[in-house]
Amino acid sequence: MTFEREWTQLKAGQEPQETRMQLNHAPPADGAGSGAASDEPVLAVQQDDLGAVGHEAFTLHAMLRKKADIANASLDKGGNCSTASAAQELSSHHLVTGDELDNTLAVWSSQVKTVLQMCAHISNHLDYSKKAHEHDDREIAASMRHRDGSPMSPSEILKYVK
């Protein structure tokens, strides 16, 4: 059904004729139609889980930075990268292998930098998310109290849920 047809039916007060998927509501409380058992949470993330993922990203970043940087890990006596020096030496003898080795080094270095940036982004984002959610939780807890500090009654809280 097109949007225009559905919109026309809705404006006329009619329920659309076709069955359609609707994502703007919560599944029934009994869990029917959710695709999961009613006693299983659909999505649950604990702070410990986020911390573990962030720690692994940080650890991977440190390890990659130390071990995967072949451009700086294999410096010769002159302070030049031995792989780059080998590529330059091969190229100076008009061997295509030198240019290809140099290209390989450039691609490898670029990809290592990309993975390092991704690890840093994951770690930093999880740290930020944790702090932001803690702040949100404090604000929500504060807003769920009266001015005198007493908690809201369940019936008042229910107004926000509906």
Chain segment 11-26, per-residue pLDDT in tens: 787 765 655 555 555 6
Q: What's the mean pLDDT in 129-144?
A: 82
Residue 29 binned pLDDT confidence (cut-offs 50, 70, 90): low
Centre a 10 Å sphere on the Cβ of residue 83 and count the other Cβ atoms it contains: 20
Task: Report, in angstroms and rounded to the nearest whole number, the Rg of the chain calculated over CA atoms.
Answer: 29
Contacts of 38 (CB under 8 A, 6+ apart): 30, 31
Q: Is the pLDDT of residue 116 over 80?
A: yes
Residue 117 binned pLDDT confidence (cut-offs 50, 70, 90): very high
Structure tokens at 81: 């990268």
Per the CB < 8 A criterion, the answer to whether 61 and 116 are in contact is: yes
User: Between 153 and 117, where is the model more confident?
Assistant: 117
pTM score above 0.75: no
Q: What's the mean pLDDT in 93-109?
A: 90
Average pLDDT, the chain: 76
Q: What's the mean pLDDT in 24-35?
A: 56
Which pLDDT belongs to residue 100? 92
Q: Is the pLDDT of residue 51 over 70?
A: yes
Q: Is the pLDDT of residue 162 over 80?
A: no
